[in-house]
């Protein structure tokens, strides 16, 4: 499930009049266009397994979404989006809204997600999240996020992630991510109850390729090491490690 509310992009222009000195009109160089506080991206992708928080929800996931952000100030931004997914078992639409505050050395975020399942409204649910992220030595990013489902599940999920990116060429990058997650009466365990403890760990690698300015294709591979008490196979009582891959095409404007 992705966090991704539809937004409208607004443009702006700046008109500067040239002053006159000693009765002679002097032409001023054109002023640079004002930077828009809005940013948007459209994305679509394929994933060999629909893996969400360590759980295998089926093979062959096709997805698409749109995300946007608005800079309220230099240190405060509002973001939102929608994400639609289709696999062999069900369709899903996620609506997301978040607020991020930047400080000198770290960012704090809060947000809300509404998960809708067309054709099975009994599965619809809602959650909020709070997170913190920073960059430490050698350009390593660290993030810690807590999610709480206050609707259908009434449980919490905590994830810690570390990331590192490299530039291989002017248009090709290399991104690494590792993380671990814990459930608090969130995912089911093999005994049929709610899991309260270690959920899974994961490692992923991606090769983002900037095909042209604002257009990026990112193939990736990911390994998920499931906790022994995590029932992570959809509609089955089993705990198994997962290996998946896919690619995401993103257009930013």
Token pair of 55, please? 């759980």
pLDDT band at 193 (very low <50, low <70, confident <90, very high): low
pLDDT band at 187 (very low <50, low <70, confident <90, very high): confident
Domains defined along the chain, listed by start: 40-252 (2.40.160.160)
208-230: pLDDT as tens digits: 999 999 999 999 999 999 999 99
To which residue do tokens 């931004």 refer?
77
Contact 181, 48 (CB under 8 A): no
84-100: pLDDT as tens digits: 999 878 899 999 999 99
Helix or strand run (H / E) with residue 180 = strand 173-188
Contact 139, 133 (CB under 8 A): no
Strand partners, 11: none
Phi, psi of 172 (to 5 degrees): -125, 130
Contact 140, 122 (CB under 8 A): no
pTM: 0.84
């Amino acid at each position: 499930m992705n966090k991704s509310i539809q937004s409208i992009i607004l443009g702006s222009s700046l008109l500067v009049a040239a002053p006159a000195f000693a009765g002679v009109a002097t032409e001023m160089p054109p002023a640079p266009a004002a930077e828009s506080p809005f940013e948007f991206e459209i994305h679509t992708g394929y994933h060999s397994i629909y893996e969400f928080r360590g759980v295998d929800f089926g093979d062959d996931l096709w997805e698409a979404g749109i995300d946007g952000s608005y800079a309220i100030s230099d240190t405060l931004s509002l973001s939102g989006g929608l994400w639609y997914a289709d696999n062999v078992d069900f369709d899903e639409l996620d609506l997301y809204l978040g607020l991020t505050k930047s400080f000198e050395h770290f960012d704090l975020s809060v947000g809300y997600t509404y998960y809708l399942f067309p054709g099975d409204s009994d599965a619809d649910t809602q959650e909020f999240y709070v997170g913190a992220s920073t960059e430490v030595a050698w350009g390593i990013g660290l993030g810690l996020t807590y999610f709480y489902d206050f609707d259908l599940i009434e449980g919490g999920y905590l994830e810690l992630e570390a990331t590192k990116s490299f530039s291989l060429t002017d248009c090709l990058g290399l991104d690494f991510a590792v993380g671990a997650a814990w459930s608090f009466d969130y995912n089911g365990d093999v005994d049929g109850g709610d899991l309260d403890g270690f959920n899974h760990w994961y490692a992923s690698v991606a090769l983002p390729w900037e095909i042209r300015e604002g257009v990026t294709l990112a193939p990736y591979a990911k390994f998920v090491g499931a906790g022994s008490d995590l029932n992570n196979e959809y509609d089955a009582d089993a705990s198994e490690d997962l290996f998946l891959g896919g690619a995401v095409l993103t257009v930013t404007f």
